[in-house]
C-alpha cells in the first residue's frame, strides 16, 4: 500500500508546483521514480511534463489498483480531459464501478459519457446521458436534464454511430422525454413569470 501512497504524494507534489501552489510536502521516498523529484527548482512546465510521464508510467503497468489510484487522483483534480485521453480500457471499468457504487454521482457519470463520446461509443454515451436526465434526487435542474437529453439525442443521431439499427426506439424514447421536459420548462417559466407579475401588481 505504501507504493500507492507514494505515487499519490508524488503527483500531489508535482501538481502543486504546476499550479504554483507548493504547499504539499515532498514524498519521503523521492527515488521511487528515478530522478523525478531530485530537482527542487522545477518549473511549472517541467512539473506538468513529469505529472504526465508519471501518469503514463502508472497506467502502462498491469496493476489495476495503481490505475484506480491514478484515475481517482486525476478526477479529484478535475483533470477530465487528461483522464479521458490518457486512460486505457481500465478507465471504463473504473468509471462503471464508481458509478454503480454511487448511483447519484453525477460527476462520475458525466465523465463516463464523455469517455464514451471521445471513443466514439455514442450509443453507450446516450444511455448514460439519458440515465443522468432521469436520475431522481440528483440535484439537477430542469435545464440540466434538458441539456443531458439534448446531448443524448445528438449521440443517437451521430453519423458515426456504430449500431444505427439499435437507436430507433431509444431515439423515440429520448425524444418523448425531451418533449415532456420542455413542456415542464414552459410551465415552470410561466409560473415564475406569473409570480413576478403578481408581485409587481402589489
Show pLDDT as tens, one digit a residue, over the chain (202 residues).
688 999 999 899 888 888 875 443 333 343 444 455 555 567 777 788 888 889 989 999 999 999 999 999 999 999 899 899 988 889 999 999 998 888 778 899 999 999 999 998 888 898 898 888 887 766 788 888 888 888 888 888 876 655 554 554 466 777 777 777 777 777 777 777 766 555 555 4
Phi, psi at 150, each rounded to 5° = -65, -40
Closest CA to 83 of 47, 50, 112, 103: 112
pLDDT for 66 equals 95
pLDDT for 196 equals 57
pLDDT for 160 equals 63
pTM comes to 0.74
Please, is 70 exposed, middle or buried when counting C-beta atoms within 10 Å of its C-beta (0-12, 13-18, 19+)? buried
Closest CA to 55 of 64, 42, 65, 66: 66
What is the C-alpha separation between 130 and 177, in angstroms, rounded? 9
pLDDT for 69 equals 95
pLDDT for 159 equals 61
CB atoms within 10 A of CB 154: 14
- DSSP letter at 124? H
Amino acid at each position: 500500500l505504501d507504493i500507492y501512497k507514494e505515487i499519490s504524494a508524488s503527483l500531489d507534489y508535482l501538481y502543486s508546483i504546476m499550479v504554483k501552489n507548493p504547499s504539499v510536502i515532498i514524498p519521503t521516498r523521492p527515488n521511487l521514480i528515478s530522478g523525478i523529484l531530485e530537482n527542487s527548482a522545477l518549473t511549472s512546465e517541467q512539473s506538468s511534463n513529469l505529472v504526465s510521464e508519471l501518469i503514463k508510467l502508472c497506467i502502462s503497468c498491469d496493476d489495476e489498483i495503481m490505475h484506480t489510484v491514478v484515475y481517482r487522483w486525476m478526477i479529484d483534480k478535475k483533470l477530465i480531459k487528461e483522464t479521458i485521453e490518457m486512460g486505457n480500457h481500465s478507465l471504463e471499468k473504473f468509471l462503471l464501478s464508481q458509478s454503480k457504487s454511487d448511483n447519484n454521482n453525477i460527476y462520475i457519470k458525466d465523465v463516463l459519457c464523455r469517455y464514451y463520446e471521445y471513443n466514439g461509443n455514442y450509443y453507450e454515451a446516450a444511455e448514460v446521458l439519458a440515465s443522468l436526465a432521469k436520475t431522481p434526487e440528483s440535484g439537477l435542474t430542469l435545464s440540466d436534464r434538458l441539456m443531458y437529453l439534448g446531448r443524448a439525442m445528438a449521440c443517437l443521431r451521430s453519423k458515426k454511430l456504430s449500431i444505427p439499427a439499435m437507436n430507433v426506439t431509444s431515439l423515440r424514447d429520448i425524444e418523448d422525454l425531451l418533449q415532456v421536459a420542455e413542456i415542464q420548462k414552459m410551465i415552470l417559466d410561466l409560473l415564475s413569470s406569473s409570480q413576478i407579475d403578481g408581485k409587481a401588481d402589489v
